[in-house]
Structure 1
Amino acid sequence: MSSIPLADLDAFVAIARVKSFRAAAKLRGVSASTLSEAMRRLEARLDLRLFNRTTRSVTLTDAGERLLERLAPALSEVEAAIDGVNSLRDRPVGRLRLNVPGIVARFVLPPIVTPFLKAYPGITLEVASNDALVDVLAAGFDAGIRYEEALHQDMIAVPIGPRRQRFVVAAAPSYLAEHGVPEHPRDLMQHRCILHRFASGRVLTWLFERGEERVSITPPACLISESNEVEQHAAVAGLGIVCTFEEFLAPGLASGALQVVMPDWIQTFSGPFLYYPSRTLMPVPLRAFVDFVKANPWVE
């Protein structure tokens, strides 16, 4: 049997981990058809079917399970060996894969990414934006960024971005003039509200705190969306009341198109964290990124 390209084996592991050609392609920055062709080559070389494919799912065959069991640790050893050599360079090279929520991709990472990549031009940074909770290692990422309540205890967490953020409740002046201004979270049950739904299907619960009083509600919705842009546009148009990160609403608040309501109930919480597994042989690009974040003022 002729030698099998390492890239095809690496592609197999990527698909097997996320059980999706499309998701693996997005992670690797290639087309799904490119991965399909790589798997056709690999299965032809082995004369074995590795995946069961349907329109709804991708699962491993017994042969695929056995290959993944032996191959994943071997590829990890290859990566560790390359990282070991890489550590001898003055400037590290390689690929750094991060999984981050949308708020981080839009507001936290931009001022960090450019100076980091200028400082380390040999590193290629891949950023996947995903609001769902992800097993970063199983999905093939080096690290993730999430908020405190979503961090796993066995991970190392490093502060990144603003250390305090806020959820604010806001509406267009035209909506408030027609429907009145809520003064207590329970008043929201009588209003039209714009809710956010995560990719998992869970609808965001609105949490409020003032002194010792805590209120958790899911108000009646006139719109439920997975897009913050859709929610902001609807709020500015006077459709209803929205509750989200202050950063998303900042332009509307600054222009007067939106008005904060119940300011004494604003929810404040800790900012995001960069997190990664505790392991001795950290990939060199990840080590460079962690050191860069720690040494610069974005953690303040």
Structure 2
Amino acid sequence: MREGLLGGGALFTDPRFHDLNGVPAADRWRHEQRRGGRLVGVLEGVVVDGVLRSGHSAPFGGPDLVRADPPVEDVLDLVDGALAAARAAGLRGIRIQARPPVYSAAEPLLEYVLLNRGFQLAHCDVNQHVDLAPMHAGQDPLTLLRRKRSSVRAALREPHDLQEVTGGEDLSTLHRLLATNRAAHGRPPGLGRDYLASAREAFPDRVRLLLLRVGGRPVAAAVVYRVLDDVDLLVAWGDAEHDLARSPMDLLAHLLVGRALAAGLRLLDLGPSSEKDGTPNTGLLAFKRAVGAVPGTRKVLAARL
């Protein structure tokens, strides 16, 4: 856990994540804002062609704050301090891939301050997440499922196993399932097998590679990152190479919720349901809605200096 940062600090602003992606030390930039010796927050990223990218090679970046529900003065201090430091360093712009507003009470306030200080909306995705608070209060996770409860109940009665993969042939199988699924949907290749192995080695407590077997056969897989101490992000998932009567994806979604609940998490982020240009993927939106996810946004905010 990095010094006092909310949720242990976002995975994607951890120096080890930049190591994983081979970012040279000279291209990394970090500003720590303190008041009276107290750490207020951090803005960290990678400088590309003179522009700081917070969220480089990642779904999102910072800023990271210390308080989950900070006073506006903390956010103003961090943003104004980072802007002044960036100008002093000769940067010509800042591009922040912001985390979804639902991650903490700090996020909407941070968005407001960035917009107030001249940042503009550069991109917006529709993002979907499962709020786990009702389940912690006693709600049955099966009630999340819309029109799919009977199908998942039937699947739960059949032999199945969602197992964490650590390497070897299981990792090759997991990667092949995900790659086959992406190809079947006309999508470019995703994270490579070696990258997944390196990510798990770098973050053994925050990167989960999960393989679903039904009747002893591998049928679906998921890559899940613990992006904050109480938030899991679904990075990739998919099914392939099976002739089951029903898709295993509903079962996989239900089992992922169960794992997140068992870990005491607050949110399971199922990620964007829009294309690279922000166009909504209506099929993906409908599927995630059917397994209990609710919509939100994930924005990119940018400013010239």
Q: TM-score, normalised by structure 1?
A: 0.27
If you compute each CA radius of gyration, which structure gives the higher value, 1 or 2?
1
Larger helix fraction of residues: 1
Identify which of structures 1 and 2 has the higher relative contact order when contacts are C-alpha pairs closer than 8 Å and 6+ apart.
2
Q: TM-score, normalised by structure 2?
A: 0.26
Larger strand fraction of residues: 2
